[in-house]
């Protein structure tokens, strides 16, 4: 999986940080996590065609996470490449989408599938599920996982003399007949744990964040404020960078990336330092930052 951060600011964009949006790509799937104002422009700067987007995951209906959505849908509708698109959001999202489409009328030619609420699941090349967090309006985080993979036990395969396409069939989990003998995929392959990326948007520090981020390869987390503004964070139902570090630590994650920064921070150094008091492998996102998982 490869992630491209298109926007890393909180409510107010800055000269260097756009509103929230992340593009995750994997084997032909293009998942857009939130769609803040200016997302189309960020995609163009990054050289990503909007038609590469196959799914859109909206965490909640705050403007800095959805103001780019009507324009993006209009662009996709006007494109010659009209592919079906799935859009997921929190409880009440279907009604919000209907009101938005009424407010921004255009000749919609898209085949749009809308799903809402906690526990959304969809299998494909990627498995996506949602979980509720604690913000001032209905809000969900998202878990994006690869499908499970099998790898060939090379020593066993060489011992059996198996070569060519037969190896591919075994890696696909299929039993084969080789030289008149049945060979079980389970005897020649071993499972590779799927990569897991967890997106935790605007929320208070809560148990749901820790439980759903368990053993994640990467957590991308709301870090609007530094630790010295914890009371302000609680009042607006956001997390501090220190709390994001606690989530990563308690969830036994491999890596944490902080994002959704208040405009007050000209540098993320204080936020990184706060998070590292609780978790060592921390980075601060910036617009157009690329990460491979």
> What is the set of active-site residues?
64
Instruction: Tell me the C-alpha distance between 121 and 115, whole Å.
Output: 9
Closest CA to 257 of 293, 233, 228, 214: 293
Query: 3-state SS string over 200-230?
Result: ECCCCCCHHHHHHCCCCCEEEEECCECHHHH
**Distance from C-alpha of 77 to C-alpha of 81, rounded to nearest angstrom:** 9
Cα–Cα distance measured from residue 275 to residue 28, given in angstroms and rounded to the nearest whole number:
34
Distances (CA, A) of 243 to 14, 186, 215: 24, 42, 17
Burial-class residue 259 by CB neighbours within 10 Å (0-12, 13-18, 19+): buried
- The DSSP string of 278-293 is T-SSEEE--TT-EEE-
């Amino acid at each position: 999986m490869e992630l491209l951060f298109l926007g890393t600011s909180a409510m107010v964009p800055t000269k260097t940080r756009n509103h929230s949006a992340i593009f995750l790509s994997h084997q032909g799937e293009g998942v857009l996590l939130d769609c803040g104002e200016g997302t189309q422009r960020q995609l163009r700067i990054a050289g990503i065609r909007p038609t590469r987007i196959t799914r859109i995951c909206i965490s909640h209906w705050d403007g800095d996470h959805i103001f780019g959505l009507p324009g993006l849908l209009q662009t996709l509708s006007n494109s010659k490449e009209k592919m079906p698109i799935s859009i997921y959001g929190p409880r009440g999202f279907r009604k919000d989408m209907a009101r938005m489409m009424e407010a921004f009328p255009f000749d919609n030619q898209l085949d749009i599938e809308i799903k809402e609420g906690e526990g959304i699941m969809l299998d494909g090349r990627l498995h996506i599920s949602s979980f509720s967090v604690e913000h001032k309006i209905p809000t969900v985080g998202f878990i994006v996982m690869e499908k499970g993979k099998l790898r060939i036990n090379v020593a066993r395969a060489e011992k059996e003399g198996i070569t060519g396409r037969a190896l591919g069939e075994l890696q696909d989990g299929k039993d084969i007949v080789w030289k008149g003998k049945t060979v079980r995929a389970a005897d020649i392959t071993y499972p590779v744990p799927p990569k897991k990326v967890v997106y935790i948007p605007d929320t208070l520090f809560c148990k749901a964040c820790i439980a759903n981020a368990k053993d994640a390869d990467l957590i991308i987390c709301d870090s609007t404020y530094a630790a010295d503004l914890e009371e302000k964070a609680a009042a607006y139902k956001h997390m501090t960078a220190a709390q994001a570090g606690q989530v990563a630590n308690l969830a036994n994650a491999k890596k944490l990336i902080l994002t959704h920064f208040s405009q007050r921070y000209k540098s993320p150094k204080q936020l990184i330092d706060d998070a590292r008091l609780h978790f060592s492998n921390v980075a601060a996102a910036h617009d157009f930052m690329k990460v491979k998982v």
